[in-house]
Structure 1
Amino acid sequence: MNHSPNDLIMLFNDLFREAYRTVLVKGSDEPEYLPASEPEGFARVVFAHGYYASALHEISHWCIAGEHRRTLHDYGYWYCPDGRTPEQQQAFEAVEVKPQAIEWLFALAAGFRFHISLDNLSGGGAAQEARFRENVCSQAGRYLENGLPARAQRFFEALVAFYGTGATLKTRWREDVRRIAPSTSESALPQEN
């Protein structure tokens, strides 16, 4: 299956350009969110280097940012780059559970391979990697069973329709859980219908 970031740009912009005055665009180095600078302008969700996975991740952040946060650069969030202390990494992991759970489901809907991101290569890695993986898995499972936040649900459904993955979602989800969070209990997984 071909995974072009141009497809994500098209899908995102078709869904959200007019309704939310927001567009998805390829960037160079760092991803960021840029609120509209003019009343009639567009906010921009910028993903790094044209990478498909970066686009999915940045879209997931946008999908859960509230109205006020979407008026702030990078949603007003604190971000400490790679090289975080254990305490900083723990704070990072706490705020990354929902975006990574949504990103995982977007990847699943697109037939794309998801990877957990601890994003702290030169700082000693995860604070508690197994727990983080389980937390992301549990959150994604709840979203899969109960529905995603409204904008995320719309994008998820657009991905399923575009890539034709609806018939295999539950099976692929269970396989992904075993790969991403192998310590997750079988009883925590949504049941296949």
Structure 2
Amino acid sequence: MNTSTASTYLNDLSEPPSREPSAELHRYQDVVALFDAAFKESENTRLIKGEGEPEYIPANDQCDFHQVIFAHGYYASALHEIAHWCIAGKARRLLNDYGYWYCPDGRNEAEQKAFEKVEVKPQAIEWAFSVAANKRFRVSTDNLNGEQGDTQAFTLEVHQQVLRYLRDGFPPRAALFIDALTEFYGTAALNIEQFRLPNEWSNSQSEDLL
């Protein structure tokens, strides 16, 4: 999904580590290796560093495996595209970009609301990936040149979805990849305390899910 190259970032939401990890800690090559180890054989799918916009391309006459393509070697883009792949059903994984039409930057209010609706779950999973990798996460509205909408409400929705996943379980492929990241980076098992909102925000809606 083309949502990671020109994003508008809202807030650093992950609890910052006691010592900020160096850039060398988060190499896209490691994410590629972890993804391929987990899914290359079982799902015939590989994570590919792209030179342009992110894209999902199913196996075809030119390539006999499915490709999750992320943007320009960006670590966050890799996590974001993996998150989309983790919630795409079997039928959608046979379609370019999972059969979704992407509305580019510059969306109006109605288009932005539709965009955010389908971004809640993948961004919740991306947040979990980031915590597992000990990397700061930023919610993204990806609409630099258009209507920003209610960014706090969107952030709260993403947070609520993270809490639902913690309570009810993550999608199977997402859970598997979280485990891979946790083992590789030596992080703790995911828990509620790792997913915080800014102190000044009222998050009573989220607390209802605990």
Q: Same fold (TM over 0.5)?
A: yes
Is 1:155 the counterpart of 2:177? The answer is: yes
Pick aligned residue for 1:24 from 21, 40, 47: 47
Pick aligned residue for 2:162 from 130, 140, 158: 140
Residue pair 1:109, 1:165 contacting (<8 A) in 2 also: yes
Residue pair 1:105, 1:156 contacting (<8 A) in 2 also: yes
* Deviation of the 1:116 alpha carbon: 0.5
Aligned length, in residue pairs: 186
Is 1:88 the counterpart of 2:111? The answer is: yes
Which structure has more relative contact order (CA 8 Å, sep 6+)? It is 2
Distance 2:151 2:97 in 1: 25
* Deviation of the 1:40 alpha carbon: 7.8
Residue pair 1:26, 1:46 contacting (<8 A) in 2 also: yes
Residue pair 1:34, 1:74 contacting (<8 A) in 2 also: yes
Distance 1:181 1:66 in 2: 38
Is 1:77 the counterpart of 2:96? The answer is: no
Give the TM-score normalised by structure 1: 0.90
* Deviation of the 1:172 alpha carbon: 2.7
Task: Indicate the SS of the match to 2:56.
Answer: strand
Q: Check 1:167–1:101 CA distance in 2 against 1; reply closer, same or farther (3 A cut).
A: closer
Q: Where does 1:102-121 land on structure 2 (aligned, <5 Å)?
A: 102-121=125-144
Distance 2:48 2:199 in 1: 28
State the match for 1:187 in structure 2: 207
What is the identity, as a one-letter code, of the residue corresponding to 2:202? S
Residue pair 2:131, 2:190 contacting (<8 A) in 1 also: no
Q: Check 1:90–1:180 CA distance in 2 against 1; reply closer, same or farther (3 A cut).
A: farther
Pick aligned residue for 1:122 from 138, 142, 145: 145
What is the identity, as a one-letter code, of the residue corresponding to 2:58? P
- Percent identical: 52
Distance 1:21 1:28 in 2: 22
**Structure 1, residues 22-60: CA drift from partner, whole Å, max 9, x if none?**
000100120000100149811000000100000000000
State the match for 2:14 in structure 1: none
**Structure 1, residues 55-91: CA drift from partner, whole Å, max 9, x if none?**
0000000000000000000000121110001110000
**Structure 1, residues 128-154: CA drift from partner, whole Å, max 9, x if none?**
212111110000111122210000000
Residue pair 2:164, 2:209 contacting (<8 A) in 1 also: no
* Structure 2 residues not aligned, in runs of 5+: 1-20
* Structure 1 residues not aligned, in runs of 5+: none
**Structure 1, residues 93-125: CA drift from partner, whole Å, max 9, x if none?**
000000000000000110011100100010022
Q: Check 1:181–1:169 CA distance in 2 against 1; reply closer, same or farther (3 A cut).
A: farther
Distance 1:160 1:32 in 2: 26
